[in-house]
Structure 1
Amino acid sequence: MSSRLRLWVLAAGGLGVAVLFVLACFDLPAFGGLRHPYGDRAVHAALARHTANTVSSVNFDQRAFDTLGEESILFGSVVGTVVLLRQTRDEGRLPPEPATVAPPVRRYALIALPVTLLIGLYVIAHGQLSPGGGFQGGVVVATALHLLYIAVDYRALERIRPVGLYEVADAAGEAAYLLVGTAALVTGAAFLTNFLPYGTFNTLSSGGTVPLLNAAIGVEVACGVVVLLARFLDQAVEIESGDRDDEAEAGT
């Protein structure tokens, strides 16, 4: 296929998408109006399944399959980063040097660490009840752990961050989401159908499979972010390439 033909195909596809987009915009409800068909259906479905947080109901129940795709994108990004930033044969690992931290920074970070960790776990655990959920809470939990890097140094962070364990937990979070969806198939329902009892409204056990999928996302996101940061920080702090070693020897 020539370059000109590819451009024509691209232009035809782009024109078709633009026409569909314009037609869809004409069918939108008036701005500021009282008619919100999608929102009304989403809220009704969330309340019917005893999920107080409508957004979590959409993410982990009504459109749980879409969320699986989003989770898989993050998981694939982590796997790709681990492969690309792995230590090669011509690279060496140097122990990180102790860092000097200003007392106010150390004090604030050490105080903020447990508070941030607790907030992250709370956001995950209450994802079906209040704003938040596994995605947001997972990032907060991962951030809390790295406050130790700011408060002390990289060696202190490494003591509480066994990367191999977090890699396994990252995969376990992805697998748990798939297993919950597969369990629905065993009951005769569609994949990722909310098949568990809905429980009492506005309690931690409410929402059927929503809290389970939310927790799986929280584990996957928290561990995935930790692994991502670990690989980038290793490259910046510990890993030295063979070229740098040769240059250092030549300089001496």
Structure 2
Amino acid sequence: MKHRRALRYGLSILALIVLAPAAVLVALRMPAFGDQLPAYGAIVNAHVPYMRQATNVVTAIIFDVRGADTLGEEFIFVAAITGLAVLLRGGRGEDASRKPIRTDGRRLPARSEAVALLVRWMLPATIAFSIYVMAHGQLTPGGGFQAGAMLASALLLLFLGDGYRSWRQVTPPIVMQMLEALGAIGCVGVGLLPMAFGTGFLENVLPQGEPKSLTGGGLIPLFNVAVGMAITGGFVNALVEFLEETRQPEEGES
């Protein structure tokens, strides 16, 4: 054990020595706040708003101009959640109980009615705001990733207010896994849709809609929703795996 710890420390120090100079150089060479935009940024700012009727240029870059990069990042996220599930689930198997773990000398706190009431007010409001952020990603700051993280966090409120059993009933893992998978498939499907019309991958083929409206953005809103589904399902699946470590093991489990 001590040998492994020393090895981890050694690798961490080596990585720090190798990467620290590059990080310092990047920080020193960053343009000052308020400097003139580089040519790439100026071109995007000049053309994207009227080409896609998207007032949030950042989202237009992520889901349109550099949409292929975002697709790759999405599958990195899916692979990370899969690795987490394989790592944690391997020790306990596929079955899951809904009994909280009991440890000698540790008292389980009683359910707080005040916290439960607060959660029941906050949960629907947070879910509604998450959907708002997802739907308006091409118009205002936000988008599928931010909305998905918010939605998963909103569902976690149920665990804080009503406990693990209620939370698991609302977020069954099989449903969350299907949501993540459908979101990832949807990201690819949005990219392949234009190819059915003889154009390039992720090239817009939908009407641009009206400026500053939910109908604007072409393919951007569809890509946005697919990412939101994948992120929501992925984060909830991660929370399931972590919170499963707090439950009482079933007979035959370690």
Asked if Structure 1 and Structure 2 have the same fold, meaning a TM-score greater than 0.5 normalized by the shorter chain, the answer is yes
Alignment of 1:116 onto 2:126: yes
Q: Residue type of the partner of 2:207?
A: P
Alignment check: 8 A CA contact 1:128 1:207 kept: yes
Separation (CA, whole Å) in 2 of partners of 1:180 and 1:239:
42
**1:234 to partner: Cα distance:** 1.0
Q: Pick from 40, 46, 49: which aligns with 1:44?
A: 46
Query: Which moved further from structure 2: 93-102 or 204-213?
Result: 93-102
**1:211 to partner: Cα distance:** 0.2
Q: Quickly say closer, same or farther: Cα 1:185–1:229, change in 2 above 3 A.
A: same
Separation (CA, whole Å) in 1 of partners of 2:145 and 2:94:
34
Secondary structure at the counterpart of residue 85 of structure 1: helix
Alignment of 1:160-171 (within 5 A): 160-171=170-181
- The structure with the larger Rg is 1
Q: Pick from 220, 243, 251: which aligns with 1:233?
A: 243
Q: Quickly say closer, same or farther: Cα 1:31–1:162, change in 2 above 3 A.
A: closer
Q: Quickly say closer, same or farther: Cα 1:241–1:34, change in 2 above 3 A.
A: farther
**1:114 to partner: Cα distance:** 0.9
Q: Quickly say closer, same or farther: Cα 1:132–1:90, change in 2 above 3 A.
A: closer
Q: Residue type of the partner of 1:79?
A: T
Alignment of 1:96-111 (within 5 A): 96-97=99-100, 100-111=110-121
Partner of 1:222: 232
**1:157 to partner: Cα distance:** 0.5
The TM-score with structure 2 as length reference comes to 0.79
Q: Residue type of the partner of 2:145?
A: F
Alignment of 1:194 onto 2:204: yes
Partner of 1:66: 69
Q: Pick from 143, 146, 149: which aligns with 1:136?
A: 146
Query: Which moved further from structure 2: 226-235 or 33-42?
Result: 33-42
Secondary structure at the counterpart of residue 89 of structure 2: coil
Partner of 1:86: 89
**1:90 to partner: Cα distance:** 7.7
Partner of 2:36: 34
Fraction of identical pairs, as percent: 36
Secondary structure at the counterpart of residue 111 of structure 1: helix
Q: Quickly say closer, same or farther: Cα 1:38–1:76, change in 2 above 3 A.
A: same
Q: Residue type of the partner of 1:146?
A: L
Q: Quickly say closer, same or farther: Cα 1:200–1:238, change in 2 above 3 A.
A: farther
The TM-score with structure 1 as length reference comes to 0.79
Alignment check: 8 A CA contact 2:98 2:168 kept: no
Alignment check: 8 A CA contact 1:184 1:191 kept: yes
Q: Tell me how many residue pairs correspond in the alignment.
A: 226
Separation (CA, whole Å) in 1 of partners of 2:156 and 2:134:
18
**5+ residue gaps, structure 1:** 1-13, 245-252
Q: Residue type of the partner of 1:162?
A: P
**1:111 to partner: Cα distance:** 1.3
Separation (CA, whole Å) in 1 of partners of 2:125 and 2:87:
34
Alignment check: 8 A CA contact 2:187 2:227 kept: yes
Alignment check: 8 A CA contact 2:177 2:237 kept: yes
Alignment check: 8 A CA contact 1:96 1:237 kept: yes
Separation (CA, whole Å) in 2 of partners of 1:104 and 1:243:
35
Give the CA RMSD over aligned residues: 2.9
Separation (CA, whole Å) in 1 of partners of 2:134 and 2:244:
28
**1:104 to partner: Cα distance:** 2.6
Query: Which moved further from structure 2: 95-104 or 215-224?
Result: 95-104
